[in-house]
Each structure stands twice: as C-alpha cells, then as structure tokens.
Amino acid sequence: DNVRACAQGVADYLKQTGLAHQGLIVGYDNRFASEDFASAAAEVIAGNEIKVYLCPKATPTPVISFGVVAQKMGGAIIITASHNAAIWNGFKYKSEFGTSAPSEVTAKIEGNITHTLATGKINQMPLAKALEQGMVEYLDLTPGYSHR
C-alpha cells in the first residue's frame, strides 16, 4: 500500500534525524478515503514507536502547520491533494517548522520509500492497539488555532 510505504519513509526519516521523540501529527481533509489513509499512516508511525497525534476530524493544512509549531512536533503527515481536483488525493510531509519540507528532506524521504518498497518492511500497529497503548492520541488543533 503506497500510503503505508510513504509513512514508513517518514518514520525512518524522523528516526534518522532525531525528530522521532517529538512525535508527529497526522491530519487529513474531506476527500474520499482521506480519513482511512490517515489512519493507515498513523498505524505505521505508531508501529515505529513514534507517538502520533491524530486529528479527529478533517483539518485544514494551515491549522496542522500551526499545530506542529505550537506543539513542538517533529512534523506532520497530511492526507490531501491540496488545490488539485477533488477526485485526487495526496500525501504531504510538513517539517518540524510547520512548513513544506525542503527538497533535501523530501529526497531523503523518497530514498527511504524506495528502500521500503524494495524490502517490503513496513512496521505497523493496529489503530485500536495503538490508541490503547497511548502511541496514538486524538488531538483537535482547531481550538488552539482559532484562539491564537
């Protein structure tokens, strides 16, 4: 599954750069299957022993970017195709600064994804188990953004 491979690439990047201990926000938009893809990404990040803060509802990208900075996270995964057609979807990584990842970061993540696809090794923890063990926690970022 492409979403899981991409999430594994991000998890590997966070571990390689020492950002894993800060945790990661996973958010999504209202497009078809976005919530399911976000859950799949959260399962992989949690399976890599990285704390996930999962948005409980569709959340705009600027709110998630704000949350990364306000909560001092290692970054964010956002399931969205942004300005593209409604029938599309996409996978974005936001840096620990809440910004789009620079090309050198995306190159490292792409290399990790290529390695993941070659080996087939994707760490996963079922969402229910991750929630039970505290590896995934729901976090609504909207109130903090609205009151800033």
> Which of the following is catalytic: 34, 39, 65, 82?
82
Number of domains within the chain: 1
List pLDDT tens digits, range 17-57: 999 999 999 999 999 999 999 999 999 999 999 999 999 99
- Give me the domain span that covers residue 61: 2-146
What CATH number did the domain enclosing 44 receive?
3.40.120.10
Q: What pLDDT score was predicted for residue 25?
A: 99
Q: Is 82 a catalytic residue?
A: yes
**What percentage of the chain carries pLDDT values higher than 70?**
99
1 is written with which tokens?
Answer: 């599954």
List pLDDT tens digits, range 74-131: 999 999 988 888 888 999 999 999 999 999 999 999 999 999 999 999 999 999 999 9
The span from the CA of 37 to the CA of 123, in Å, is: 16
Q: What pLDDT score was predicted for residue 116?
A: 99
Q: How far apart are the first and last CA of the chain?
A: 38
Q: In whole angstroms, what separates CA 99 from the centre of its chain?
A: 13
Find the Cα–Cα–Cα–Cα dihedral 26, 15, 8, 145, rounded to 10°. 10
Q: Where are the alpha helices (DSSP H) in 22-126?
A: 34-47, 61-70, 103-119
